[in-house]
Chains A and B, each alone.
Chain A
Amino acid sequence: MLATVIQLIINGLLLGGIYALISIGLTLIFGVLEIINFAHGEFLMLGMYASYWLFQLFGVDPYLSLLMVIPTFFLVGLAVQRIIIQPIINAPPLNQIFATVGLSLVLQNVALFFWKADYRTVRTAYSTLCLKTGGLMISLPRLVAFVLAIAMISALLMFLKRTYTGKAIRALAQEKRAAMLMGINVYRMYQIAFGIGIACVGAAGAILIPIYYAFPTVGALFVLIAFVVVILGGYNSLVGALIGGLIIGLVEAFSGFFLSPHLKEAVYFVIFILILLFRPTGLFGRG
């Protein structure tokens, strides 16, 4: 029994790391631009396909593909911010919601158009490798995914904590007018924050491909989890997104084992509603 529990904790945390990486981009975008990116899941999907095709066409290892995916997605984020988000940055919520909802519809169906509804995954030499110690099983690609996710999150947090640009982004999220008066180019920071958010979720897609399938609507599956994580962690706290991601990973592992794997979404939703009702700022959010 104890071994099972430890195994579940490990499974949950490994999964949670990826959830955290997906969610942290969403949180960053919301914290700085005050817009919920409803197309976030679709960028995850694109990240998975990007890594998939790099492997299929050029034999690039999915982990190596990060080196291409991250900068590319950052640039894509800049462009999307410039073309779609910037015009509605001060618009009523309805316009903001449907701009990204519309984008999500487009991206999902672009994927369907080009790559059909097939499930695709990358089979590498290490895909099925497992570490076995003391009755515990740890899947190697999951472990690598976790380590990479945590590394990227740490790098992002360091960037925001240490660099001038990072501090400017945080300042903007806390007090926009003062940031402007300190000489921070608000428009450029919006772009950078959006770019980083998209780069994070694209990277999450790339490290997911060895352990999961890419298909056009895969984003919707994960973005629901990301929404729950963001609400749980507090929608303006990046550390909250990290811890929230790990918690949801654990919840999934345990509810999958003790209830049923199919009910895990129902469990998320209950958490989601309870948090919204009783602690709308989340566990780590600021009022």
Chain B
Amino acid sequence: MLSLENISAYYGDVQALRDISLRIKEGKIVTIIGSNGAGKSTTLNTISGVLRCASGKIEFLGGRIENLPPHQIVELGVVQIPEARLLFPYMTVLENLELGAYTPKARKGKEQNQEIVFGLFPVLEERKTQLAGTLSGGEQQMLAIARGLMARPKLLMLDEPSLGLAPLLVKQVFGTVKEINAQGITVLLVEQNVFHSLSIADEAYVLENGRVVLGGGGKEILENPRVKEAYLGI
């Protein structure tokens, strides 16, 4: 569905990605893990078009997307839920959801989609007139995911959805991710929480220093000692 071939990207003159290649098959959950600064978020931002890649190509459903501006990539169905949620803090829950459905395609099925999202996160329906900035951390993460779903993604990319959440909520978030996937949406998950993400992933890639150093099935990677080494330096 999505493939990256030899992608390199820079922040200013800092090379953040070195020759990355990934493949994501339709209907799967794929995870990218790696320590801070390894290039995980950069990979997502390059796919989303927020960051231009210096070389390499990105294909989505058979079309090249590496030179498209971010809003066109969203229209194709590649939607990112950014790290730290980045909600619109002075807008209500409902307005945040509406903006999730900003693209013309998503606008058409807005009401119906909203029903689905509220089914997934009943608490958001209770708070729909509350300002997003006043929600609790867990609710904010739910809203961020819900807002992303409103865009009717074919591929949903989540950047550190468990960041800053208490353990119980972390489990809940990963449960939600599986549920979303079960509805036929392909998921690309970037996480520091290695255990959880690897246990739900069909496939996984390990990034170190802007490079892919390992790839394989989620369970396989979970047992690979190299992972622990990359994180804990032993």
| Contact in complex: B147, A182 (CB < 8 Å) | yes
| Contact in complex: B89, A183 (CB < 8 Å) | no
**Interface membership of A262, Cβ < 8 A:** no
**Interface membership of A126, Cβ < 8 A:** no
**In the assembled complex, which residues on chain A have CB atoms less than 8 Å from the CB atom of B231?**
none
**In the assembled complex, which residues on chain B have CB atoms less than 8 Å from the CB atom of A177?**
50, 82, 86
**Interface membership of B186, Cβ < 8 A:** no
**Interface membership of A95, Cβ < 8 A:** no
Interface size on B, residues (CB 8 A): 27
**Interface membership of B151, Cβ < 8 A:** yes
Bound-state CA distance A237–B151 (Å) is: 28
B151 interface neighbour in A167, A175, A183, A185, Cβ under 8 Å:
A183
**In the assembled complex, which residues on chain B have CB atoms less than 8 Å from the CB atom of A168?**
99, 102
| Contact in complex: A184, B88 (CB < 8 Å) | no
**Interchain nearest-CB distance for A157 vs B (Å):** 14
A174 interface neighbour in B80, B88, B100, B147, Cβ under 8 Å:
B88
Q: Taking chain B's interface residues, is the majority helix, strand, or loop, or is none over half, making it mixed?
A: mixed
**In the assembled complex, which residues on chain A have CB atoms less than 8 Å from the CB atom of B82?**
177-178, 181
| Contact in complex: A167, B89 (CB < 8 Å) | no
**Interchain nearest-CB distance for B159 vs A (Å):** 10
Known A181-B74, A181-B79, A184-B71; judge A167-B50 contact (CB<8 A). no
**Interchain nearest-CB distance for B47 vs A (Å):** 11
**In the assembled complex, which residues on chain B have CB atoms less than 8 Å from the CB atom of A184?**
71, 99, 102
B50 interface neighbour in A180, A183, A185, Cβ under 8 Å:
A180
| Contact in complex: B89, A174 (CB < 8 Å) | yes
Quick check: which of B7-15, B26-34, B56-64, B90-98 contacts chain A, the rest being far away? B90-98
Known A164-B107, A167-B91; judge A185-B71 contact (CB<8 A). yes
**Interchain nearest-CB distance for B190 vs A (Å):** 14
Bound-state CA distance A95–B89 (Å) is: 30
Q: Interface extent on A, as a size class?
A: 10 to 19
Within 8 A of B (CB), among A230-287: 286
| Contact in complex: B50, A182 (CB < 8 Å) | no
- Convert A44-72 into 0s and 1s, putting 1 for each residue whose CB lies closer than 8 angstroms to a CB of B: 00000000000000000000000000000
Name the CB-closest residue of A to B50: A180
| Contact in complex: A170, B88 (CB < 8 Å) | yes
| Contact in complex: A175, B89 (CB < 8 Å) | yes
| Contact in complex: B91, A183 (CB < 8 Å) | no
| Contact in complex: A185, B87 (CB < 8 Å) | no
| Contact in complex: B91, A178 (CB < 8 Å) | no
Closest 10 CB pairs of A and B: A183-B74, A178-B86, A183-B103, A174-B88, A185-B71, A183-B71, A180-B70, A183-B102, A171-B88, A175-B86
* A and B contact pairs by CB, cutoff 8 A, 22 listed: A167-B98, A168-B102, A170-B88, A170-B90, A170-B91, A174-B91, A175-B86, A175-B88, A175-B89, A177-B50, A180-B71, A181-B50, A181-B80, A181-B81, A182-B100, A183-B71, A183-B106, A184-B71, A184-B102, A185-B69, A186-B71, A286-B90
